[in-house]
Amino acid sequence: MASIDIDSAVSAAPRSRAPSKSAQIENTQANSVAQRYLDVRNYSEEICAPLAIEDYGLQAMASTSPAKWHLAHTSWFFETFLLKPYAQDYCEYHPGFEYLFNSYYNGVGGQYPRHQRSLLSRPTVEEVYAYRRHVNQAMLSLLESKAAGESTDILTRTELGCHHEQQHQELFFTDLKYCLFQNPLYTAYDTNPLPPAHKPDALQWRAYGGQLLEIGHRGDGFCFDNELPRHKQYVANFELADRLVTNSEFMAFMADGGYERPELWLADGWAVLQASPHSPAPLYWVQREGEWWEYTLHGLVRLDPHRPASHLSAYEADAFARWMGCRLPTEFEWEMAATISPAAELHETSSARPAVHPESANPVGSLWQWTSSAYTPYPGFKTAAGAIGEYNGKFMANQLVLRGGSVATSPGHYRHSYRNFFYPPDQWQFTGVRLARES
Amino acid sequence: MASIDIDSAVSAAPRSRAPSKSAQIENTQANSVAQRYLDVRNYSEEICAPLAIEDYGLQAMASTSPAKWHLAHTSWFFETFLLKPYAQDYCEYHPGFEYLFNSYYNGVGGQYPRHQRSLLSRPTVEEVYAYRRHVNQAMLSLLESKAAGESTDILTRTELGCHHEQQHQELFFTDLKYCLFQNPLYTAYDTNPLPPAHKPDALQWRAYGGQLLEIGHRGDGFCFDNELPRHKQYVANFELADRLVTNSEFMAFMADGGYERPELWLADGWAVLQASPHSPAPLYWVQREGEWWEYTLHGLVRLDPHRPASHLSAYEADAFARWMGCRLPTEFEWEMAATISPAAELHETSSARPAVHPESANPVGSLWQWTSSAYTPYPGFKTAAGAIGEYNGKFMANQLVLRGGSVATSPGHYRHSYRNFFYPPDQWQFTGVRLARES
Amino acid sequence: MASIDIDSAVSAAPRSRAPSKSAQIENTQANSVAQRYLDVRNYSEEICAPLAIEDYGLQAMASTSPAKWHLAHTSWFFETFLLKPYAQDYCEYHPGFEYLFNSYYNGVGGQYPRHQRSLLSRPTVEEVYAYRRHVNQAMLSLLESKAAGESTDILTRTELGCHHEQQHQELFFTDLKYCLFQNPLYTAYDTNPLPPAHKPDALQWRAYGGQLLEIGHRGDGFCFDNELPRHKQYVANFELADRLVTNSEFMAFMADGGYERPELWLADGWAVLQASPHSPAPLYWVQREGEWWEYTLHGLVRLDPHRPASHLSAYEADAFARWMGCRLPTEFEWEMAATISPAAELHETSSARPAVHPESANPVGSLWQWTSSAYTPYPGFKTAAGAIGEYNGKFMANQLVLRGGSVATSPGHYRHSYRNFFYPPDQWQFTGVRLARES
Amino acid sequence: MASIDIDSAVSAAPRSRAPSKSAQIENTQANSVAQRYLDVRNYSEEICAPLAIEDYGLQAMASTSPAKWHLAHTSWFFETFLLKPYAQDYCEYHPGFEYLFNSYYNGVGGQYPRHQRSLLSRPTVEEVYAYRRHVNQAMLSLLESKAAGESTDILTRTELGCHHEQQHQELFFTDLKYCLFQNPLYTAYDTNPLPPAHKPDALQWRAYGGQLLEIGHRGDGFCFDNELPRHKQYVANFELADRLVTNSEFMAFMADGGYERPELWLADGWAVLQASPHSPAPLYWVQREGEWWEYTLHGLVRLDPHRPASHLSAYEADAFARWMGCRLPTEFEWEMAATISPAAELHETSSARPAVHPESANPVGSLWQWTSSAYTPYPGFKTAAGAIGEYNGKFMANQLVLRGGSVATSPGHYRHSYRNFFYPPDQWQFTGVRLARES
């Protein structure tokens, strides 16, 4: 591995977010792991650039974390799983951080209560950036060290740490949007105006023939443990929509009394509706003088009928599908379709960072799509030994799989075998609806 | 259909529970539907015979219903779905009952709040029995009528109503046990002593080869909509235990710190444990002077190490399996095994009503077994039109499938394709653990 | 003390509620303590006579207790504080009852959770009546014994136990009304129709001159510890209404937007209104096709504008008073007025048990009246030693004093110095409003 | 009124907190109202000087407000009640602030949900300071204007606004301490070490003779509406401790099982203890390796036995008093003692801002003392017309009066007739215990 000038690499972390070298992660295979590490780390800081110091601490519900906490926790991950076990003479940055920035790794130790993360005014934002620099310098030393050359664990874990940080980059957008929405000033994270959306073509159905097929990650590249092992699955004939449901389609559902008709709803979803004090609508819709507006990371904008309906719970997605006489796809149907017709599905990301709001109803890279599949282990699933094994497996209860990536997904992070997972009532993720039906 | 003497048939409903004709539902095919109807209806009353009037109203949590409510609701089902639409000149028994005894059928109308059912001191127990007689007489008239001969709907719905009532018979035992347990007097429902349990043989593993197979109900007999359609499913190689986990095995898990080791638990299950004010143990276990006792419907008894561990949540079942280096079976594995080796698995029920507590660790008819399968529709699943379509489908979220029947299951009610479903934290069902593993 | 035929006295407990000897407690001083004891004990059973067995177990919220529990707890009081310490060779009726029927006496031991009392189907109603008979026989033996002649404690505590049981008689009505109201069948406890109410005279103000006066119980008769010591209190000039607020007056408040105007409400009261899912109205008011009805223990009746407005919280009472430009009286003003003009205020109770619903707006014996006085100890207040000292003192926080008695108060139980106490949001007590103002 | 150089006066707001001119508010009567206004406004900013930007947004429970919110709300008060009604051509600073920074004045309009104030990352701290400057300039113009000379309302309301802001200065310390305590880093607000505490003298009892006396504010100076009208109250003989209870005395209570003995506790207080998941101790006490430490605004320090026991709830204060065979004083007893022996009680505040932690057990200026008096209106109490009338009166329910001021009270803000009020379970106020007893 070629030597990298640590100081300049680290200190040069650009703080402006618009088109930058680091976003152009064109070919991670070709780059060194160290370069990959730096690119990912710098991107986390780039996307924070528009924040005021005050924004870094927001936590509007237990499920969301402050931006500052994301920045610290991702550093903690490298410190805990790479630096402490592998870096000779590594000096822990602060004895209190192991507790404060552990998310849920019981194997490492106790955790500061999740719902109270906004109460951590200290360390300050500046101190967290200093923590990041400390970790970066130690990581770059480690990656240049002899140990790294001899241990595949170090490179493998660094790769995992990079993907872990990319997940938190996505959560950064997801959580921030939810938090800023609580303030009636409806602050824009990105002050660039949203590009106009084009009217999507009429929804087309694509038919797929039943077959016994292989599901799960294929090949040598990185994937999370939950995408393995690749295994056989029988999928019967089905049809899948070629694009996501749009706002105008969802408004038709609402106009037809969709939220008031219990026969369209799963019982648990209906119970959520009845218990809510709000009149039902997608999470970020705001009604003003009879018109619908939508809160986006670009501010409050008029609801655009052509954009895909976003931030729906699985219950809303399911009710809409039922109203259409359709259903949600299984994750296997979704993956089969993506694998069979990749050209048609694949989303081309331009090099410039696009708006953090879906422009098109494209099923890849626009909005995560709820599937009807429970998030359960693939046959023969194995977790890693030790605390790092808590990464995915222990969440395999009560959640549904989502597929397809979104505008908030970090460049280069997505795969067709990727299994995202949320609870059915969750609305704050960038989620949409793709319809399926029997053929 | 031969005429039945309605008055004597109805009024003769035996009130004692021990070995009775009605329990010997040997061959429903051979009996007339009317006889089948009467047998089921009478059995509901038989199993209530040991109750004091005061016991009929108990409701210890929202998920449980008072015995009186079960008796009334099952009558409401026949009144709503058979008598009102099909019986000429049927006179509704009481205008308030449609609201009071509707469980969850939004298509019929509003419902009295579920968690408040214990507040319905009126109608009294006596009045509910009168309601049952009124419905029985009208149902027998309907089944003898010309309409019944001409409409398959009437017979089909009557059959459904009978299976529905059998489900409530099972819930009767399940709910009653939970309610009586709240009273430190630990009243026995059945004062007969529990027969001794035999020490089960060492657990044997049976191996099954991977294959593409058909899952779901086969044949002409009755089944619930959720067992259909029969469809293809690929199941990989696996091994399945030939019996359930015993109390002594579960005690070994506890002795090994099973409840204190987060690495054995799903995150949601661990959260349930941490939130509980009680020291963890299976639901009905009671510690007295260092010894474990167990509350059963036969009263508080010393915990028998040879009986199957019962009333476990899916989280407890999963943690135990993980501790054993195993896992829970999928519902497909379970059904495949039951179909391939039916002789070995089938439980012989003697004609006398056995104890309402599992005697053996037999995987059929002893305790329902948690599977790792989410309760979701089979491919191509269809619900019936109208309110009756709310029977099963709308609960297909957040629950897991259980298989195998239990000592509380009504005679003749069970099938190998039967899909019971509960939420993972639920403990009050008669549930146990059957282990699976990769082969 | 003359001998009483125990068996006939106890077993003759009349079960019908209408005009009975026992209700005519004309002169307790003149009767023996034993007779007094029997009268009170029999009255508890008389008022239960209209109940179905199923009604005995109702508990609609933690603050209310089932009728059966009242019957058992009042017996427990005599068993715990009289029979166990004083009766030679007394045989405890059941070892489990000390725990089940202890209300809140930590000095005696633990208590079955209050909010779960409806789960005690056992002991049955019949068994509780047997418990009462057992206690009655032992109490009558004790009162006839030599010990009673020598110990003033026995007579004093028996007197306290009788007043305690009378308090529970009042709670019986209060709690039962709340419980029956939860059932949309609106069952009548008393099937006698309500006598018509007369239109009250226009409200008159009575002026009282400021003075330093004595407050608290005077004389030798029984009183609760919280009515003592009699002490000096300065009361400034004030005026007090000569009758309670009527339904028609409260409807005028509602018509004027009383429930929607925050400036009329205490902040805590306004918060209660905002948090409630119901549209605000007095507790038992039911709107049907634009007309107001009221649930009473005599069933659902049209709201009578002439009756006093009842079952108001202190917040409602205070808001109404503010709307009138008035205020609630202090407990000292109330007692001063009652003492100065007793003839005008005193309510004449006829010998026949009247309807359990206020007929007149008379300030004594109709409805308890909220005062603005916090329930705090009088200067120099002392509690008794031991568990019996927990009777009143420990509740002197967060509650307000009510004065005046109600139609649910047992005959002979009321005194002008009586201090009843409830939390400001409580509505299920028989409460009304009496206005005061500066003069 | 002499002209003030607005720009220099406003912009010169010193940001360091130590000994400053502005703290020396020696004689407000002699200063102009404008000078008084500036002094108070500047002091709010001085005490914020040690904060990091991140600290300004902390809100650890609904009852506490972020420092930034206090700064904005106090400006809103002047804008709403002075500038909008009285200042000609006043230009509202921001249309959204009326909603965001209204605390509880329904007469003004709706309010942003109190428990979500930490979610207001915008306006930023810098923007809030700009808002303050905008309001200050307009206020100084108004106070110099002809209108101010002609309207006593303007001066009266400005005076109220200053006292209002001083109340929020005290809440600033109270709330900040609670928020910083949630972070295990235990950050010090004031990095100056705490001066040592001197061992207090043995507690002395002072006896006061019963008498009819005048209670409430006397004279022409400012007071809040709740201190009026001055009125007659009879107070019986009593004795009052000459100092507060110390930590060592409270530790003796704990060592004697004070927290485990229900007979010492009010029922509501005992319920709070039982419902808490924590082992009971005063709010800021932290146990480390068997030793008690205490969190203070000067950081975590060893618990000093000589300092007064602080941050106790009224329940803890009452239980301690009961354990001592004493009781809490009434607010009338407290005021009588303070009035009779002012020299002995008066606390001499040095000109330098002292530590924000009580040094001595002096009953004035050290810790607020719980009284047993409910916070209710004095006879004849009147509120102001309009929204400003919501200031105090609507909170007169469920709270207790506290007397005496504390180390967090702003210089010049305290009076012997001052009535502070909190709910009995509240612990986060600077509260202590002063004992009373019958003489």
DSSP assignment of D147-204: HHHH-HHHHHHHHHHHHHHHHHHHHHHHHHHHHHHTSTT---SS-SPPPPPPPPPPP-
CB C416 within 8 A of CB C338: yes
Distance in angstroms (rounded) separating the CA atoms of residues A47 and A357:
15
> Residue B284 has which token pair?
């009905």
pLDDT at B285 over 90: yes
Q: Report whether pLDDT(C1) > 80.
A: no
Instruction: Name the closest residue on chain B to residue C54, using Cα atoms.
Output: B121
A308 cis-preceded (ω within 30 degrees of 0) = no
Contacting partners of chain D (3+ CB pairs under 8 A)? A, C
Interface of C with D (CB under 8 A): 104, 106-107, 210, 212, 231-234, 236, 238, 262-263, 265-270, 314-315, 318, 327, 372-374, 376-377, 379-380, 389-390, 394-398, 424, 438
Banded pLDDT at C353 (limits 50, 70, 90): low
The DSSP code sequence of A358-419 is --S--SSSS-EEEEEEE--PPTT--PPSSGGGGSSGGG-SS-EEEES--TTSPTT---TT--
Burial class from Cβ neighbours inside 10 Å (0-12, 13-18, 19+) for residue A278 reads exposed
User: For C357-393, what is each residue's pLDDT tens digit?
Assistant: 998 899 999 999 999 999 999 999 998 888 888 888 9
Nearest CA in chain B to A390: B263
User: Which residue of chain C is at minimal alpha-carbon distance from D212?
Assistant: C234
A20-50 exposure pattern, b = at least 16 Cβ within 10 A, e = fewer: bebbebeebeeeebbbbbbbbbbbbbbbbeb
How does pLDDT run across C141-174, given as a tens digit for each residue? 999 998 888 888 999 999 999 999 999 999 999 9
Contact status, residue D305 vs residue D251, Cβ threshold 8 Å: yes
Three-class DSSP category at A301: strand
Q: How confident is the model at residue B353 (pLDDT cuts 50, 70, 90)?
A: low
Per-residue pLDDT, C341: 75
On whether the CB atoms of residues C23 and C42 are closer than 8 A, the answer is: no
pLDDT of amino acid A352: 54
Neighbours of chain B (3+ CB pairs under 8 A): A, C
D106 and C268 in contact by Cβ < 8 A? no
For chain C, helix, strand, coil in percent to 5 are 40, 10, 50
What chains are in contact with C, requiring at least 3 Cβ pairs below 8 Å? B, D
How many degrees, rounded to 5, is the angle at CA D173 between CA D168 and CA D176?
A: 110
- Band of the pLDDT at B12, cuts 50, 70, 90? very low
**Residue B327: C-alpha distances to residues A194, B409, B434 (Å):** 49, 25, 9
Half-sphere exposure of D57 (CA within 13 A, CB side): 29
pLDDT of residue B373 exceeding 60, the answer is yes
Q: In chain D, how long is the greatest CA-to-CA distance?
A: 66
Q: Which residues contact C286 (CB under 8 A, 6 or more apart)?
A: C292, C293, C294, C295, C300
Q: What is the pLDDT of residue A342?
A: 57
DSSP code for D378: P
pLDDT above 70 (res A13): no
3-state secondary structure of B287: strand
Residue D369 has which token pair? 């003392």
Q: How many residues does chain D have?
A: 439
List the beta bridge partners of residue B240. B206, B436
Over the stretch A32-41, which tens digit does the pLDDT of each residue have? Answer: 899 999 999 9
| Residue of C237, C260, C263, C375 to mutate for D, most D C-beta atoms under 10 A | C263
DSSP string, C386-410: SGGGGSSGGG-SS-EEEES--TTSP
Separation in Å, CA C108 to CA A396, C105, C386: 49, 6, 9
- By the 8 A CB rule, do D328 and D385 touch? no
Tell me how close the Cα of B294 comes to any Cα of chain C, in angstroms. 19
Residues 6+ apart with CB under 8 A from A167: A413
> Per the confidence metrics, is the pTM higher than 0.90?
yes
Q: Over range B327-353, report the average pLDDT.
A: 73
* Closest in B57, B60, B96 to C185, CB measured: B96
Full DSSP string of B406-436: -TTSPTT---TT--EEE-TT--SS-EE---E
Average pLDDT, chain C: 90
Predicted local confidence at residue D326, as pLDDT: 97
Mean pLDDT, residues B360-386: 94
Report the alpha-carbon distance of residue C362 to residue C349 in Å, rounded: 12
* pLDDT tens-digit profile, chain D (439 residues): 334 443 444 433 333 333 334 333 333 433 489 999 999 999 999 999 999 999 999 999 999 999 999 999 999 999 999 999 999 999 999 999 999 999 999 999 999 999 999 999 999 999 999 999 999 999 999 999 988 888 889 999 999 999 999 999 999 999 999 999 999 999 999 999 998 888 999 999 999 999 999 999 998 899 999 999 999 999 999 999 999 999 999 999 999 999 999 999 999 999 999 999 889 999 999 999 999 999 999 999 999 999 999 999 999 999 999 999 999 999 999 999 999 875 344 444 444 567 999 988 999 999 999 999 999 999 999 988 888 888 889 999 999 999 999 999 999 999 999 999 999 999 999 999 999 999 8
pLDDT band at C345 (very low <50, low <70, confident <90, very high): very low
Better-predicted residue by pLDDT, A197 or B53: B53
Tell me if D360 sits within 8 A of D366, measured CB to CB.
yes
Nearest to A210 by CA among A345, A332, A79: A332
- Which residues of A touch chain B, with CB atoms under 8 Å apart? 104, 106-107, 210, 212, 231-234, 236, 238, 262-263, 265-270, 314-315, 318, 327, 372-374, 376-377, 379-380, 389-390, 394-398, 424, 438
The per-residue pLDDT for C354 is: 78
Taking the C-alpha atoms of residue C101 and residue C117, their distance in angstroms, rounded to an integer, is: 9
Give the residue on C whose Cα is nearest the Cα of D314. Answer: C397
Scanning every residue of chain C, which has its alpha carbon at the shortest distance from the alpha carbon of B59? C119
- The domain locations on chain A are 6-181, 205-437
CB within 8 Å of B356: residues ≥ 6 apart: B173, B177, B189, B190, B296, B297, B298, B407, B408
Is D183 in contact with A122 (Cβ distance < 8 A)? yes
CB pair distance less than 8 Å for A267 and B104: yes
Checking if the pLDDT of C416 tops 60, the result is: yes
Burial D90-107 (b: 16+ CB within 10 A, else e): beebbebbbebbbbebbe
Nearest to A37 by CA among A156, A144, A154, A140: A140
Whether B343 shows a pLDDT value over 60: the answer reads no
Longest dimension (CA), chain A: 66
Is the pLDDT assigned to residue C192 strictly greater than 80? yes
Chain D residues with beta carbon closer than 8 angstroms to that of A96: 184-185
Phi and psi at B434, nearest 5°, equal -120, 130
Complete DSSP assignment for A28-69: TTTS-HHHHHHHHHHHHHHTTTT--GGGGG--SSTT---HHH
Per DSSP bridges, beta strands A285-288 and A291-296 are antiparallel
Q: Which residues of A touch D57 (CB under 8 A)?
A: 54, 57, 118, 121
> What percentage of chain B reaches a pLDDT higher than 90?
82
pLDDT for position B351: 44
Give pLDDT tens digits for C29-55: 334 899 999 999 999 999 999 999 999
Instruction: Examine the pLDDT at A75 and tell me if it is beyond 60.
Output: yes
Return the structure tokens found at D384. Answer: 């102001």
Q: What is the structure's pLDDT at C347?
A: 46
pLDDT, mean of residues A226-246? 97
Write the residue in B99, B121, B183 that is nearest to C121 by C-beta: B183
CB pairs under 8 A between C and D: 90
**If we measure between CA atoms, which residue out of D198, D210, D250, D148 comes closest to residue D362?**
D198
Token digits of residue A39 = 């690119």
**pLDDT for B155-210, tens place per residue?**
999 999 999 999 999 999 999 999 999 999 999 999 999 988 889 999 999 999 99
Provide the token pair at B209: 């080869």
What is the tens place of the pLDDT at every residue in B110-169?
Answer: 999 999 999 999 999 999 999 999 999 999 999 999 888 888 899 999 999 999 999 999
Say how far apart CA C69 and CA B59 lie, in whole Å: 17
> Domain spanning B205-437: which superfamily?
paralog of FGE (formylglycine-generating enzyme) (3.90.1580.10)
Interchain contact, A262 vs B438, CB within 8 Å: no
**How many Cβ atoms sit within 10 Å of the Cβ of residue D124?**
18
Q: DSSP readout, D224-267?
A: -GGG-S-EEEEE--EEEESSPPBHHHHHHHHHTTGGG-GGGS-H
Residues of D in contact with A428 (CB under 8 A): none
User: What is the pLDDT averaged over residues B307-336?
Assistant: 98
Preceding omega of B123 cis (within 30 degrees of 0): yes
Q: What are phi and psi of B285, to 5 degrees?
A: -80, 135
Could you report the per-residue pLDDT of C61-70, keeping only the tens digit for each? 999 999 999 9
**Closest CA relative to residue C426, chosen from B121, D398, D373:** D398
Position A151 scores a pLDDT of 84
Chain D: give the shortest CA distance to residue C117, in Å: 18
Q: Report which of residues B416 and B10 the model is more confident about.
A: B416
List all residues 6 or more positions away from D350 whose beta carbon is below 8 Å from its beta carbon: none
Query: Which of C53, C120, C125 has the CB atom closest to B183's CB atom?
Result: C120
C-chain residue closest to B188, CA distance: C122
Query: Has residue A420 got a pLDDT over 70?
Result: yes
Q: Is A333 left (phi over 0), alpha (psi -120 to 50) or beta?
A: alpha
Measured CA to CA, the distance from residue B165 to residue B40 in angstroms comes to: 7
Residue in chain A nearest B437 by alpha carbon = A380
C-alpha triplet B168, B172, B177: angle, nearest 5°: 150
C-alpha–C-alpha distance, residues A95 and A265, integer Å? 50
Instruction: Identify the closest residue of chain D to C260 by CA–CA distance.
Output: D106
Please report, in angstroms and rounded to a whole number, the separation of the first and last CA atoms in chain C.
53
The beta-carbon neighbor of D122 closest among A120, A123, A185 is A185
Q: Which residues of chain A have a CB within 8 Å of the CB of B327?
A: 377
**pLDDT at residue C318, as a whole number:** 98
Task: Report the share of chain B in percent with pLDDT over 70.
Answer: 90
* Cβ distance of B99 and C56 shorter than 8 Å: no
